[in-house]
Structure 1
């Protein structure tokens, strides 16, 4: 079945931001050769480090408050250059990732190198700039390059790029940013603001899978509670696997489908509010907003001139009200999360098995507990449940009226905390589908990390989503170097 359903992520904005950052860096190099320019661009901090205080005391310098004797030519404290500050405030990660299939061929799945740049800096004590971008190079043996029949595929995108202004009682942020709502690890209960990168299915860690989107957000602080507001004029949606790539799973249907995508456009706004209150060891959050579905829904439209069935791929809007609660007691952290989603779009089929969108009121909930044995090891257990209020009639077979999942995590460090072992287990209660992940992370040095993991799927229900991935067991190796 051929599915013309690619969501195009234009590389122009990503490359433009990378080029702007490089130009910014080159401008700094030029500024270093212009006397006084770098000093005017970056003001000195009003605070001195402890090391500087010791030097002044040992050398018998005057009181630290009297700095009139210091000049830019002081050999002990030379004026920092623009490039010095750029490298000091940047983190560059150079990495290589390889994955090998255990059952289904071809055996090599991932084979790529990547570079990631993270840059954080503070201007004039109240302006904060953050940039987080990544560029990957995939040769022909990588499944993504092979899907597009390219010898080399270059993929670049920006996760975050924003400016934040902070004041006494509030802060304002504008740009491409990630906002994390909720506390659940199993599924997204209230964590619906930021879309996810699903191009590698579940093989991307959650902290790396979240995608940013352009928005204006603000935090307002008071003695009673903190309030977070955001507005996004162009919502992002999940980044799906490329067509014909390893993890591309087209909707089941007869014959060839032509899919017309209708993604959110500029003006299809998302907005929301989140209120946080900390009472002793208890953290309470209330949240509400209007959102667009991060995952796509399909609706049959008819036939085109070539007698091929046509379906639209949409991301319908819905509203949500939710709450999250966490409480720390001794070595335990208890957490709960609840969301009521009004008019949430689910995938449906009509009597002839054709696609349609069904809007239902949905209640998502999760409860869990984390245990920390004085940093000797950590465990986490969580149970989630989705309840469709008006029933699951008319929905696809993988949408049950009650949908529950169980999640377990165990983590322990060895060799003076340089070797980390982590085990993750997920189980769908109704369909009894599950997967296991074993992961070892070894910090060879402070700047070199090696990650190896092995993932096993065990699908039992042919109607479940995981059944399509039952032969996707794989072992992977990732090497990362930090500069």
Structure 2
């Protein structure tokens, strides 16, 4: 999750490719927007088991009693139809512009994202998906505001999204390949969603379907009645993308202003010997959807090691340690609202301290993170979500950047304003200090498959806070999206 800790998508992902590629990107966008619109809502949903037609429908469609009881000449061919392979396309192109309004004011994004997916079914029990995305941000070609390493990292990227095969055998479903594995989802931040890697180069501001990075995994799911089991093995872990020093949302800040240098991030732990694995069990009991999980992983979130001596200029390196996590989720429809809860215990994660004598500038702190939320469906299609969340540091070290009990809350409100306009606002606020993030947004469904959005991302707080470290990254933005 993004947490109040001050800590905070890849077989290796395609590397970033630098250069002036506007013509290439324009060609790809024309290809995507000109792609045949062959998919429909049914094509995009997982196939379900065939169900019997109900008696009412049979009566309505029967022209005679003989037809109803099968005693006359049947007009229906009862011969089983042979299976036919299917395939469908879907995707989107999205143009994004952002202007950072904090001093010094500057244009911070002019990006075109284009994603194309193909879904198909080879047999009644075998399905597949292929997808890739191309991102090009022209701001790094037309402006030299950002350091060269930031421009090289975020200018142009071509990478795989979900690419997998699905197999069904009796009560088991097996998915092998690059895939999203979502074990929990609260509004605005991450808690029990421990398997997902994330592209944090814009913090948690993008939509979750863009922010999440798929994992190369073998996943086996077992379902029986109201019981579900999920087994996951990830031989080569995807890790969070955090960008390069000098970017607007680089995650590391010190409590005091001081010159700091960084070595290249160490990702050497991504190998079979350090595989991620986990299990999640869930059960529906009297309307309560309850789950429990255990997950061992190479931590997707980096830890910043101090590699310089206390008397030398500060030098840090982002590294990834093995951690263990256990927790659970609960969901219950209360009638007037839906209750959601998530809890995670994390063992083995390290945190920065201000004590210069601490080895590597770190101490190990086990933590408990939990969140409780209520989702209300109000009149006029208005949605209201309220959340409380907290992190507790076990064996608390007073020299870390956070309090022992870090608490916060959020309010999310969304509804239709008029005609094709929809508004929403998200406020996340720390309960320990004056630290918050405010995100108003207005969306216009201007035509079929087209959306135009404008909004703002405003931050406030201290430099070591989860939200406050981006106090100088306030921005306004607009997005134009075409989906098919």
TM-score by length of 1: 0.77
Cα distance in 2 for residues equivalent to 1:339 and 1:257? 31
Instruction: Choose the corresponding residue for 1:447, options 443, 446, 449.
Output: 449
Tell whether 2:231 aligns with 1:226: no
Tell whether 2:133 aligns with 1:134: yes
Secondary structure in 2 matching 1:185: coil
Secondary structure in 2 matching 1:122: strand
Cα distance in 2 for residues equivalent to 1:446 and 1:105? 39
Distance 1:479 1:10, change over 3 A: same
TM-score by length of 2: 0.77
Q: Once structures 1 and 2 are overlaid, which stretch shifts more, 372-381 or 340-349?
A: 340-349
> How far has the Cα of 1:471 moved from its partner?
2.7
Unaligned ranges ≥5, structure 1: 1-6, 15-21, 26-44, 48-56, 72-78
Q: Once structures 1 and 2 are overlaid, which stretch shifts more, 245-254 or 106-115?
A: 245-254
Tell whether 2:482 aligns with 1:477: no
> How far has the Cα of 1:250 moved from its partner?
4.6
Instruction: Choose the corresponding residue for 2:325, options 308, 320, 325.
Output: 320
Tell whether 2:23 aligns with 1:11: no
**Deviation string for 1:335-376 (max 9, x for gaps)?**
222222222332334335774332222111111111002552
The correspondence of residues 8-87 of structure 1 with structure 2, limited to 5 A, is 10-11=13-14, 63-65=75-77, 86=87
Instruction: Choose the corresponding residue for 1:342, options 344, 347, 359.
Output: 347
- Number of aligned residue pairs: 422
Cα distance in 1 for residues equivalent to 2:379 and 2:252? 46
**Deviation string for 1:213-248 (max 9, x for gaps)?**
101001101235110000111111111123433333
Unaligned ranges ≥5, structure 2: 1-9, 18-27, 32-48, 52-62, 64-72
Distance 1:151 1:198, change over 3 A: closer
Q: Is the 8 A contact 2:231 2:280 kept in 1?
A: yes
**Equivalent residue, structure 1, for 2:107:** 108
Secondary structure in 1 matching 2:328: strand
Distance 1:363 1:473, change over 3 A: same
Cα distance in 1 for residues equivalent to 2:153 and 2:473? 24
Cα distance in 2 for residues equivalent to 1:339 and 1:436? 26
The structure whose RCO (Cα within 8 Å, separation 6+) is larger is: 2
Distance 1:301 1:469, change over 3 A: closer
The correspondence of residues 390-401 of structure 1 with structure 2, limited to 5 A, is 390-395=395-400, 397=401, 399-401=402-404
Distance 1:10 1:205, change over 3 A: closer
Q: Is the 8 A contact 1:331 1:374 kept in 2?
A: no
Instruction: Choose the corresponding residue for 1:385, options 379, 386, 390.
Output: 390
**Deviation string for 1:307-329 (max 9, x for gaps)?**
87654432111212211111102
Cα distance in 2 for residues equivalent to 1:229 and 1:151? 34
Tell whether 2:406 aligns with 1:403: yes
Cα distance in 2 for residues equivalent to 1:366 and 1:469? 23
Q: Is the 8 A contact 1:346 1:358 kept in 2?
A: yes
Cα distance in 2 for residues equivalent to 1:482 and 1:145? 34
Q: Once structures 1 and 2 are overlaid, which stretch shifts more, 370-379 or 462-471?
A: 462-471
Instruction: Choose the corresponding residue for 2:157, options 155, 158, 169.
Output: 155
The correspondence of residues 249-268 of structure 1 with structure 2, limited to 5 A, is 249-252=251-254, 254=259, 256-259=261-264, 261-267=266-272, 268=274
Cα distance in 2 for residues equivalent to 1:289 and 1:223? 25
Cα distance in 2 for residues equivalent to 1:264 and 1:218? 25
Cα distance in 2 for residues equivalent to 1:233 and 1:360? 27
Cα distance in 2 for residues equivalent to 1:249 and 1:321? 25
**Deviation string for 1:454-473 (max 9, x for gaps)?**
122222x3543433322322
Structure 1 vs Structure 2 CA RMSD: 3.7
**Equivalent residue, structure 1, for 2:219:** 217
Distance 1:12 1:246, change over 3 A: closer
Q: Is the 8 A contact 1:259 1:311 kept in 2?
A: no
**Equivalent residue, structure 2, for 1:124:** 123
> How far has the Cα of 1:131 moved from its partner?
2.5
Cα distance in 2 for residues equivalent to 1:65 and 1:286? 48
Secondary structure in 2 matching 1:218: strand
**Equivalent residue, structure 2, for 1:426:** 428
> How far has the Cα of 1:114 moved from its partner?
2.0
